[in-house]
Structure 1
Amino acid sequence: MSDGRFSPRRGTIKFIRRWATWTTATKFKAWQEGGINNTTESMTRALITDESRIGNTLGPVQLGFVAGVILRERLPAFERMLWRACRGNVFLRQAMIEAPLEDPSNGDNVYKSVFIIFFQGDQLKTRVKKICEGFRATLYPCPEAPSDRREMAMGVMTRIEDLNTVLGQTQDHRHRVLVAAAKNLKNWFIKVRKIKAIYHTLNLFNLDVTQKCLIAECWVPILDMETIQMALRRGTERSGSSVPPILNRMETYEDPPTYNRTNKFTHAFQMLINAYGVASYREMNPAPYTIITFPFLFAVMFGDLGHGAIMALFGLWMVLKEKPLAAKKSDNEIWNIFFGGRYIILLMGLFSMYTGFIYNDIFSKSLNVFGSGWKINYDAETIIYNKALQLDPARDFERTYPVGMDPVWQVAPMNKIIFQNAYKMKISIIFGVIHMIFGVIVGLFNHRYFKNTMNIYTEFIPQMIFLIFLFFYMTTLMFIKWTKYSASNLDPYSAHCAPSILITFINMVLFKESTILTEACETPFMFAGQEFLQKILVLSAFVCIPWMLFAKPILIMQERKKQQHQPILPYSSEGQDVENSGPQSIPPADQSGGHGNEEMSEIFIHQGIHTIEYVLGSVSHTASYLRLWALSLAHAQLAEVLWNMVLQNGLKTGGAIGGVAVWAIFAFWAVLTVGILVLMEGLSAFLHTLRLHWVEFQSKFYSGLGYAFQPFAFESILEGGSSSDD
C-alpha cells in the first residue's frame, strides 16, 4: 500500500527474527538437557551461527551480552525484574558457584551464582546494566571474539597462579615471623605493662612553677620512709639527673588508707577479714586473733581425729609443694581457692585432730589410750543375757580419764548422745560468751586510740556489764555445777540435786522462784546468797539498757552547748587565729563519738538502733554459738552411719569373697568419707565459722569502713594484667 502501513518485507523480517530467537532458545534448552557445558564461548558461537544464518538471509543481526556474578538469594528476583523490564526480549542463563566466596567488606562467606544475559540493541543493554547495578551484581568484561576470550582466560589463570605463589610465600614468611615473635611475646607484654604503669603514674604528677621538676603527692607507710629515700637516690644516680629528690611529709585532713602487712601465712586470714570490709585507718585488725580462733571454732564443729588428719595432710602437701604448684598457675577457680587457703586448711586439720582427740572420736570410733576409768562389776552371765546394762557412777567409776572423753561412752548405745549433747552444748555456750567478751574488749582499744572517752563510759562499760552479769554468769554456773555436784557426793550436792542451768537462767531473768528437785535436796541454789546475787545482776543489766540508750546523746548535747558559749579567739592582722597559725594543723579528736555535726534526732535514732541491736544481739548471738554443738553432733552421727551401714558389713564377710568385698566396700566408704564428711561437712563448718567471726565477733568492735592501700608494685600490676588477659 502507498501509505506504508503494511510492508511485506517488514513483516517477513519480524517473522525471521522471532524464528531466530526461538531457534536460539531451543538450542540453549537442548544443550541444557543434553548436559553440555554452559560456557560463554559455546553460547556466543551458537548465537553468532544463528545470527550469521539470519544475516545471510536478511542481513546482519547483532546480539550483545553481559556476564557477571550475583548473590544466590537475589537471583529469582533478578530474573523476574529482567523479564518484566525487558518484556521478555532478553535471554538469561545462570549457574551456581559451589565454593563459598569471602566478602571483602566483612570477611563473611557468601554464596553466589554466575550469569550471562543476551540482548539486542543499545536500549536493552542500558536497561540490563541498570538492573544489574540495582541488584548489586558484579559485571565482568568478556571479549566477543573466541581468541580474545582464550587469551584473557590464560592471562587470568597466570595471574591466579602468581597470586597463589605470593600468598603462599607471604604465609610462610608470616609464620616464621610469628614463631620468632612468640619467643619474646611474654617479655614484650611485661615491658609494655611496666611502661604503661609508669606513664600512668607519671601522668598523676604535677609540674612545679619552673616546669623542670615533677611533684607527686602519695600515701607512704611510715616504716618505709628510709627505703623510699634510698630508692629515690639510687634512681637519681642511675638516670644521671642533676636535681636531687626531695621527700617531705605533709599534713592532711584526708583519711589515710589502711595497710596491713601480710606474708604468705597471714595473707589468707587477712583476705577473710577484708571480705567483710577493710578496716578504717588505725582500727583494730581482727586478723591476728582470727588465725587462732577461726581454725579452733571450725575444729569444735568438725572434731574428728581421722577426718582432721585427712584435711591436715592435704594442707601439708600444698604447703610443702608450694613453689611448684604456684608456678603452674592453674585457671581452675576451685583449685585456686584451695591453694590460696592452704595454711587455713592445714591449721583447720591440725585443730580438728586436737578436738577429735578430746572428743575421742576417730571415724566414729574411740581410742583407748589411757585405759577406761570405769569398771564392770557384773558377772559374765549377766552381760551375755542383757543387751543394756547401766553402770553406777558412785560404784563403778574409779578415776577420770586423763585427756578428753572416756572411750567407754562409745559403746554406750542408749545414753551416749544424751551425754555428748549436754557436754558439747555447754562448751559451745562457754566458747561463745568468751569470744563475744573478747570482741567487746578489743573495741576498748579502738576507743582509747581514737580518744573517744565518751564511748568508753557510754558504750563499753554498760556493754561489758550487760554481757558479764547475764551470760558470763550463766557460764560460771556451768563450772560450779561441774565441780560441786557429783554422784559420789552426799545430798544436797549429789548428782540428782544438780539444778538445770537453763531453768535457773530463765527463772533468774523472769524473777521466778526456783523449786527444789527432791525433798532430799535442801535448796534449789548452788551456793548461799545465789538468789539475792541473781536479782542484783539482772537489775544491774537492765539499768545498762537506758544507760546505753540515753547517756551518749545527752553528753553530746552538753558538749555542743559548751561549744556555743566559748569565747571568740583573738584575730591577727594576717587573717589567721593566733592559736591556729601553724601550717595545716590537724584538727583535734572528735569528742562527739564520731557523730560530728549530725542532728540530735539522728543521734537519738542511731543510738537507739545500736542499743536494741546489742541487747537483742547478745541473746541471739549466744544462741548462735549453739551451731558448734549442732554441727559437731551431725558430723559424729554421719560418721557413725557410714561406719555401721557401709564398712561394718564388709568386715563381717569372711573368706576370699570377703577380701574382695572389703576392698570394694572400703573404696566406697572412703569415697563417701572424703566427699561427704571431709568436703561437704568441711565446707559447711567453714561457712558457719565465717559467720561466727563476721557477725558474732567482729560486730562488737569492727566497722570495716576504710579503703585498702594500693602500693605501686610491678608484681601486682603484672598479675592483674595476666588475669585480665585470661
Structure 2
Amino acid sequence: MIVKMKFINISGPRDDIDRVTDLYLSKYEIQLESALSELKTVDNLRPFMEINPYREALAQAEQFTALLEDPEQVTPDTDLGLDGMFELIRNTSTDYQSLQEKKEKLKKKIEELRSRQLVIAPFRPLDCNLSEVLNYKYIAYRFGKIAVEYYYKMQKYLMEDLESIFVEGERDESYVYGAYFVSPRDAQKSDAIFRSLHFERIMLTDSYEGTPADAYHKLQREVNKNLNQIEELDKEAAQLLAARAPQIVAAKKRLEELSNNFDVRKMAARMEDNQEDYYILCGWMSEGDLEKFQADIEHDDKIFVVVVDDRETHFGAPPTKLKNPKVFKPFEMYVQMYGLPAHNEMDPTVFVGLTYSFIFGAMFGDVGQGLLLLIGGGLLYYFKRIPLAGIVATAGIFSTIFGFMFGSIFGFEDIIDAVWLRPIEHMTMLPFVGKLNTVFVVAVAFGMGIIILAMILHIINAFRCHDLGDAWFDVNGVAGLVFYASIVATIVLFMTGHKTPGGIVLAVMFGVPLLLILFKEPLTKKIEKRAEGMEESKAMFLVQGFFELFETMLSYFSNTLSFVRIGAFAVSHAAMMEVVLMLAGAEKGNPNWIVVVLGNLFVCGMEGLIVGIQVLRLEYYEMFSRFYKGSGRAFDPYTKTNKKKNTH
C-alpha cells in the first residue's frame, strides 16, 4: 500500500532552527522541499547564507575513524559534550599531524639516501677507497658510463693508444659503468678520446667513505634505520587513535548528525517580520509521523506547524512511500524497477507478489527443488536482506506446492502421487482442436483471467485519477473489458459444449465496445464538456482508428497466447528432469546419484533463472502495461539518520 503523505510548513525563530531539527525532525521521516521554490507567493523570503561550522571537524573525525582498525566494533563514548568533541578533534589533529610531519621528514631523507645509492650502485665492483680516490692530487680520475658498443670499440682499437687505465664496474644491456685514471699531463687527451666514445661522466661527492660497496651498504643501513623509525611512528599513531577511539567514533557520529541538521538551512528560508527573524521549512511527512510529531511539539511554543491540505498551493505530487506486509516487501524491488506508483495510483506490490510466485511455481513445479529455493533464498534473505533472495524463497513455496500437484520430487515421479496431473502426460479434448496438453489449456484460461483482472485494476486506477475517458472507453477500460470478456465467455461456452449467444447478441457484445473504443477521443471530450475540435479530418480519424482497432484485437490475441509459456515451461521442466534421470540411469533402478545431484543443481540454477525472467516479462508486458503507469517519485527523507532507520 501507499503511505498517505501530508505537506507541512514549519516555522519559528531563526536561531531555534538547530534545536528543532535536532530535537524533532531527526526523529521523523520528512522529505524537505526548497522553501524558496515552494513558497513563491510569500514575500520577504531570503536564503540562509551561514557556513556549516561542523563540516571541517566532521571531515577530520571521518579521517581518524577511517584509520581505526575496526570502527564498527568500537563502543562510542557518549559523555563528550560539543565543546569536548571539538577539543578532542583539535588535539588529536595536532598530535597526529606532529607524527605525520616527522614521518614526512624521514621519507624525504630516505629519498635522498636512495638517490645517493643509485649513483654509487654501478661502481660497487671497484675495489678502491673512495675517500682517497676523490682526494687524489697526482692522478686524474673520471667516473661515468659508456655505451656497450663503444666500450667494445675502445677495447679493440684504442686500448693501446690510451694513456689511461679503465676499471670496469657493473654493466647492463646498454651501458658499462666504471672509471678511468690518467696522469694530469695526459688528462686532456684522454678526455677528448673518451668524449668521442660518448662517455658520460657521473660526478661523485666526497661524502662517500670506503669502497663503493661499503658506501652502498652504509647507505642501505641508514635507509633501513629510517624505515624502522617510520614504522615506529605508524605504531605510535595507531596507538594514539586506538586510545581515543571511543571518543572519536562518538564525535564522528554526533558531528555527522549536527552537520546534517545544520545543512537543513539549504532547504529553509528566512523571513523578517516586524523586526523578528523567522525560519520556514516545508516538506512531506506521512500521516502517522505527522500525528506523532504534532503530539511531540504540543507544549513547545517556539515551533509552529501548518498542514497544507490544498495541493494547489504547492508544486508537485506527493512522493511515494510503500508499506507492505513483510512477505511482500521483497517484491517492491520489481515495482521500483518498473517505476513507483503515483500517489493516486494503486500499489501493485501484493498483486505482483501473488501472481509472480504463483506463475513461477506453475512453471517450476518440483517439491525438492522448490524446497531448495525456499531454504537457500530464505537464509540469504534472513542474513543479507537481499530482496531477490526473498522473492526466490516465496517462489520456492509455490514451486513446492505445484511439485505436489504434479507429483515430482527432484525429477522423480514415482515417489509421490500427483494431486492434480502429470504435465507431460495429461491431455484434454477440445472441439476443432483435438487433443491438447491440459496445462496449455489451463495456462491460456489463467491468462484470460489475469488480463480481465488487469483491466479491472486499470478501471479502478482511471476512476481514482478522475480520467473518465480511460475508465470508460480505453482498450483496457470498461469498453475493452466488455469486448474481451465477451470473447472469453463465447470461447468458454463453445469449448465446453454449451450454446453460444445468437448473432445479434454477439454483434452487440462485440460491436458496441469496439465503436466506443474507436470514438474514445470525441466521447471523452463530450463527457468532460471540452469543446476542442478534431486535429485531423474525419476520414483520417476513421482510417487511423480502424488500424488501431485492428492492432488492439491482435494484441488481445497475442497477449492471451503469451500465457501458453506457463504450460510450456511446466512441460519442459518435467522433460529436462526426465533427461537428467535417463542420463543417471534411473530407469534401471540404480541411478548414479552424482549425476542426479549435479543435474538437479543445473536445472534448478539455469531453468530457475530463465523461468524467473519469463515470469517478470509476463508481469511487465502482459499485466503492468494494462493498468500501471509507475510515474511516482520516491520518498527521500532528508537526514541520514532517517535513512538508516529504513534499512533496519
**3-state SS of the aligned residue for 1:219?**
strand
**3-state SS of the aligned residue for 1:673?**
helix
Contact 1:428 1:629 in 2 (8 A): yes
Q: Any residues of structure 2 matched to 1:379-394 within 5 Å, and which?
A: none
Residue 567 (structure 2) pairs with residue 629 (structure 1)? yes
Q: CA offset at residue 359 of structure 1?
A: 2.9
Q: CA offset at residue 149 of structure 1?
A: 6.5
* Residue range with higher mean Cα deviation, 341-350 or 623-632: 341-350
Structure 1-normalised TM-score?
A: 0.55
Residues 584-641 of structure 1: CA distance to partner in whole angstroms, max 9, x if unpaired?
xxxxxxxxxxxxxx9779x979988975654322111100000011111111112223
Q: Any residues of structure 2 matched to 1:292-691 within 5 Å, and which?
A: 292-318=354-380, 322=382, 325-326=383-384, 339-362=386-409, 363-366=411-414, 404-405=420-421, 416=426, 421-459=436-474, 460-478=477-495, 480-481=496-497, 526-527=498-499, 530=500, 532-533=502-503, 536-537=505-506, 540-553=509-522, 555-556=524-525, 562=531, 614-649=552-587, 651-652=589-590, 665-676=592-603, 678-691=604-617
Residues 641-685 of structure 1: CA distance to partner in whole angstroms, max 9, x if unpaired?
333442525625xxxxxxxxx5xx123202211221x22222222
**3-state SS of the aligned residue for 2:323?**
coil
Contact 1:469 1:538 in 2 (8 A): no
Q: Any residues of structure 2 matched to 1:54-133 within 5 Å, and which?
A: 63=140, 95-96=169-170
Residues 25-46 of structure 1: CA distance to partner in whole angstroms, max 9, x if unpaired?
xxxxxxx9xx75266456557x
Residue identity matched to 1:244: I
Q: Which has the higher contact order (CA 8 A, sep 6+)?
A: 2
* Residue range with higher mean Cα deviation, 181-190 or 615-624: 181-190
From the superposition, tell whether residues 153 and 719 of structure 1 become closer, same or farther in structure 2 (CA, over 3 Å): farther
Contact 1:257 1:281 in 2 (8 A): yes
Q: CA offset at residue 232 of structure 1?
A: 6.4
**3-state SS of the aligned residue for 1:215?**
strand
Contact 1:268 1:341 in 2 (8 A): yes
Contact 2:469 2:523 in 1 (8 A): no
Q: Greater strand percent: which structure?
A: 2
Residue identity matched to 2:292: T
Residues 200-237 of structure 1: CA distance to partner in whole angstroms, max 9, x if unpaired?
44433233337954322322223321233456689x8x
Q: CA offset at residue 140 of structure 1?
A: 5.2
Distance 1:204 1:476 in 2: 63
**3-state SS of the aligned residue for 1:617?**
helix
Distance 2:296 2:175 in 1: 68
Paired residue for 2:230?
170
Contact 1:553 1:600 in 2 (8 A): no
Contact 2:331 2:387 in 1 (8 A): no
From the superposition, tell whether residues 366 and 163 of structure 1 become closer, same or farther in structure 2 (CA, over 3 Å): closer
Distance 2:450 2:525 in 1: 31
Q: CA offset at residue 164 of structure 1?
A: 5.0
Residue identity matched to 2:349: A
**3-state SS of the aligned residue for 2:437?**
helix
Q: CA offset at residue 302 of structure 1?
A: 1.4
Paired residue for 2:314?
252
Residue identity matched to 2:513: C
Residue 288 (structure 2) pairs with residue 223 (structure 1)? yes
State the aligned residue count.
490
Contact 1:268 1:340 in 2 (8 A): yes
**3-state SS of the aligned residue for 1:216?**
strand
From the superposition, tell whether residues 348 and 116 of structure 1 become closer, same or farther in structure 2 (CA, over 3 Å): same
Distance 1:95 1:539 in 2: 108
Residues 112-152 of structure 1: CA distance to partner in whole angstroms, max 9, x if unpaired?
9987688979x99xx99xx9xxx999855438xxxx97799
Distance 2:201 2:338 in 1: 65
Residue identity matched to 1:683: L
Q: Any residues of structure 2 matched to 1:705-724 within 5 Å, and which?
A: 705-712=631-638, 714=640
Paired residue for 1:515?
none
Paired residue for 1:585?
none
Structure 2-normalised TM-score?
A: 0.61
Residue identity matched to 2:345: E
Contact 1:447 1:453 in 2 (8 A): yes
Contact 1:193 1:718 in 2 (8 A): no
Contact 1:259 1:709 in 2 (8 A): yes
Distance 1:636 1:624 in 2: 20
Q: CA offset at residue 75 of structure 1?
A: 7.2
Q: CA offset at residue 77 of structure 1?
A: 12
Contact 2:130 2:209 in 1 (8 A): no
**3-state SS of the aligned residue for 2:413?**
coil
* Residue range with higher mean Cα deviation, 178-187 or 428-437: 178-187
Sequence identity of aligned pairs in percent? 18
Contact 2:128 2:210 in 1 (8 A): no
Distance 1:318 1:189 in 2: 32
From the superposition, tell whether residues 462 and 248 of structure 1 become closer, same or farther in structure 2 (CA, over 3 Å): closer
From the superposition, tell whether residues 230 and 719 of structure 1 become closer, same or farther in structure 2 (CA, over 3 Å): closer
